[in-house]
Amino acid sequence: MAKRKSKREYVWLECKECSERNYRTSVSVAEGTPKFELSKYCKRERKHTAHKIRRK
């Protein structure tokens, strides 16, 4: 039996500048989709940009 206590979901980290989905991670979605942004390296632009969470 697979019991899930914490609501976690796989999400994409999407570049805000070119919309490239560069990273996949899991976040807690118990209180809705997290709204934070992360500075991540974008392979397409070859620089660090702000990435936002994108649910599937």
Binding site for Zn ion (CB under 5 A): 15, 17-18, 20, 42, 44-45
Nearest distance in Å: CB 29, Zn ion: 24
Residue reference for tokens 């709204």: 35
d(CA 7, CA 15): 24
Closer by beta carbon to Zn ion, 8 or else 16: 16
Min CB(53)–Zn ion separation in Å: 15
> E-strand spans in the chain?
8-15, 21-28, 37-42, 47-55
Please, what is the minimum distance in Å from the beta carbon of residue 7 to Zn ion? 29
